[in-house]
Structure 1
Amino acid sequence: MSITNSESSPDRRVLLIGASRGLGLALAQEWAQDGRYVMGTVRGSGRTGLHDLADAHAGQVEIETVDITEPAEITALRTRLADRRFDLLFVNAGVTNQPEGTVAQTSTEEFNRVMVTNALGPLRVVETLQDLVEPAGMIAVMSSGQGSVANNERGGHEVYRGSKAALNTFMRSYAARHSGERRTLVLMAPGWVRTELGGPNARFGIDESIPNVVKTLDALQGRPGLHYVDYLGRTVAW
């Protein structure tokens, strides 16, 4: 049996886009262990770690499907969730690419894949699903410290950096259009974490990043406006 909105307390209902593995799955686990209701999304019909989590937390963790690169799928998800409301929408879905090579050496196909998934798709999700978030709730997107233009002093990972910088800019435009609203908007830089996306040489383990990500989001609740922060709540330079 699903947990209904009336059974949930404030700040307990999460819609997590991209929860099948890595940081997204870890976020779903952290929130579920904290007693929050989580609606997590996966792509396609294959079994994932989120399905195991849903089995372990029956009625508390539910699964939906969406590919954020497909506008029709985002719209269909909005239709299916029309009567639901959430305190937090967190868009985690994203991809990386090979760090070697300059942006000019990247194929148009690869450039488009990374940009659509990391920048265009998340904003389409935010725009389409925003009405499912409570007026004083939170909309957060997984960004990266590599999206900081000011801190880019070493180069590398050019297309990925560019996609996250674009995401940050688009969210800043969204925030400007919604200034005066009570919602908290967050761009989260989780640190360089050892996942399939982050790679085996990353600096942090999931258990060092994700609990602090959740604590930081909780601390920002009720603070309207756009916040670009890292997993410890430190402001990241634009």
Structure 2
Amino acid sequence: MANSSKYLLITGANRGIGLALTQIYLDAGWHVDACCRQPFEATDLNALATQYESLSIHALDVTDHAAIDALAQSLSGKQFDLILNNAGYYGPKGYGFGNTDMDEWRKVLEINTLAPLKIAEAFYPHLLATKGTFAAVSSKVGSMTENTSGGGYIYRSSKAALNSVVKSLSNDLSSQGIIAIALHPGWVQTEMGGPNALISADESAQGLYAVLESLEIKDSGRFLNYQGQEIPW
């Protein structure tokens, strides 16, 4: 049932899973504050804004911590039921051991690991008011248990570190009623996932929406895929 009183903040909303999630939450009657780096280039997102008065679009580079603070301040009157850290960066592919680009590694960590915690800290008051959910789109390649093939040092480590951030957030915030959760969206046909991926962005987003809608406080600190199945850390 549509609920016009619910509010979502989402990053990386201009394409792929982020765009699909934005559409789903708008259709479900939520108010959505959607963030991306270059709103004037976000054709699909802007098209949604012409259809839904409940969509607000914000320019945000998640590596710009002052900009995160400024956005949190400008939205200080809002209470978010859900904050979805979707913005992500893969970095180089196909490099082997001995060829790791350290500058790219720093960039991936800035976007995938540092930014979500900065957003959690900046928007903590907005979440506390609703006892809302802080969700981070992670990846099963960040799972230590499932890393049986090696390689992928940059992206793997950024998501493993993100999972650690989520686990600590759950320990720190669950007693205040805030859920912190890590999500694996599946291997998705996006710019990042590539054409050989197994599922569409819409299928992933529908699954993630269902998982998020079913969460209870006891689920805080879990690592779940888009079908609601547990992934080992």
- Give TM-score, length-normalised by structure 2: 0.92
Distance 1:178 1:81 in 2: 21
Shift of 1:75: 0.7
Shift of 1:158: 2.2
Distance 1:172 1:94 in 2: 19
Distance 2:111 2:202 in 1: 26
Distance 1:175 1:221, change over 3 A: closer
Q: Which residue of 2 aligns with 1:70?
A: 64
When structure 1 is superposed on structure 2, of 39-48 and 195-204 the one drifting more is 39-48
1:227 equivalenced with 2:222 (yes/no): yes
TM superposition outliers: structure 1 runs of 4+ over 3 Å: 221-224
Q: Which amino acid aligns with 1:51?
A: N
Percent identical across equivalent pairs?
34
Local SS of the residue matching 1:40: strand
Say what the alpha-carbon RMSD is for the aligned residues.
Answer: 1.6
Q: Structure 1, unaligned stretches of length 5 or more?
A: 1-6
Higher strand share: 1
Distance 1:131 1:106, change over 3 A: same
Q: Which residue of 2 aligns with 1:184?
A: 179
Q: Which residue of 2 aligns with 1:197?
A: 192
Distance 1:130 1:104 in 2: 40
Q: Which amino acid aligns with 1:47?
A: E
Counting matched residue pairs gives 229
Shift of 1:178: 2.5
- Give TM-score, length-normalised by structure 1: 0.91
Shift of 1:222: 4.5
1:114 equivalenced with 2:119 (yes/no): no
**1:9-35 per-position Cα deviation (integer Å, ceiling 9, x unaligned):** 3xx211112201111001001111122
Q: Which residue of 2 aligns with 1:4?
A: none
Distance 1:109 1:174 in 2: 28
Shift of 1:172: 1.4
Q: Structure 2, unaligned stretches of length 5 or more?
A: none
Q: Which amino acid aligns with 1:24?
A: G
Shift of 1:174: 2.2
Residue correspondence of structure 1 range 54-65 to structure 2 within 5 A: 54-57=49-52, 59-65=53-59
Distance 1:102 1:175, change over 3 A: farther
